[in-house]
Amino acid sequence: MYFLEINKEHKEFLGAIRHWENLKVAFESDVIWVKDFSFAQISSPEMLQIPYTKLYELKENLLFEKDKLLPLKKLPSGLLWTPILRALPILLPKFNHNFFGINQKVKMTLKPSENTREAYALLVDCEELKTYIESAPKYRLEPLRWIVFDKKALIIGTPLLPLKGDTYWFENNFLMPSGYDFEWNALTKIMQKKLNPTEENIVLWNTDNTYFNIPIINFKPLSISSFRLTFS
C-alpha cells in the first residue's frame, strides 16, 4: 500500500488527483496523508506533476520511501480517513460570463498532455476547404457540420477531413487544442456548468487560456451548397 505525504500549505496541488474518487485523505497537524492508490495511479503523469510530496510504501507498519530499502518512520496512529472529494471540497467564485477569460480566483490553464484522443474539430483555411469539397464525395461531408469562425472554417464531427489545420479534442462541450488538457482536470465538469449551463454552446479554448462560446445552433451541415451560400 502506498501513502503520499504533503504539507497543508501545498494542498492545492492535490487538485491534480482530486478526481480519483478511490483515494482517502487524513490530516495530521500540518501534514496531509493520502492513501489507497492503485499501481497505475502511482506512476501516472498526474502524480509526477505534484511538487513538495513524499511517497511511501507501507511494510509491517513502517514507511519506506518509494524504491528505498530502509524504513524512514512509522505510519502515524489514530488517523481519520475521509474520501478525497469530501476532504478537499472545491469553492468556486462567481464568474462574469461576458468576459472572455476566467476569474483569477480559480485559474483554469491548459497544459501539454500525454493522453491521446481522437480529434473532433478542425479549424482550416476557407480556401483550402473550398478546394477540397468541390470534388469530395457527398458521403464524406455528410457527418460533418461547420461554421465560419475567426475568418476560418471550424468543422466538427468525425471522421475529420484530411486537411491541414488546427485540431481539437471534445469533452463536456469543450473543444481543447489537440495535445492539451486542463491542469486541474477535476474542475472540468464544474466549469462546464458555470460557463455553459444550458449546454447550448460549444466552448472553444485557446492555448493562451482564453475561450469563446459558440452557439451549437449556428453550425450547419457541411456541403458545397452551404459553403457557396455562406460566401455568396
φ, ψ (nearest 5 deg) of residue 96:
-95, 105
φ, ψ (nearest 5 deg) of residue 172:
55, 40
> First and final CA of the chain: distance in angstroms?
66
Task: Identify the pLDDT of residue 96.
Answer: 45
* Residue count of the chain: 232
What percentage of the chain has pLDDT greater than the value 90? 36
Task: Identify the pLDDT of residue 102.
Answer: 40
Is pLDDT at 103 greater than 60 in this prediction? Answer: no
DSSP 93: P
Using H for helix, E for strand and C for coil, what is the string for 182-231?
Answer: ECCHHHHHHHHHHHCCCCCEEEEECCCCCEEEEEHHHCEECCHHHHHHHC
- What is the average pLDDT score of the chain? 84
- Per domain, the residue ranges of the chain are 2-87, 110-230
Is pLDDT at 166 greater than 90 in this prediction? Answer: yes
Residue pLDDT, tens place only, 5-29:
999 888 888 888 888 889 999 998 8
Is pLDDT at 90 greater than 80 in this prediction? Answer: no
Burial status of residue 18 (CB atoms within 10 A of its CB: 0-12, 13-18, 19 or more):
buried
Residue pLDDT, tens place only, 179-219:
988 876 666 777 777 888 888 999 999 888 888 999 999 99
Residue pLDDT, tens place only, 38-67:
888 888 878 877 888 899 988 888 889 887
0.85 cut: is pTM over it?
no
DSSP 36: -
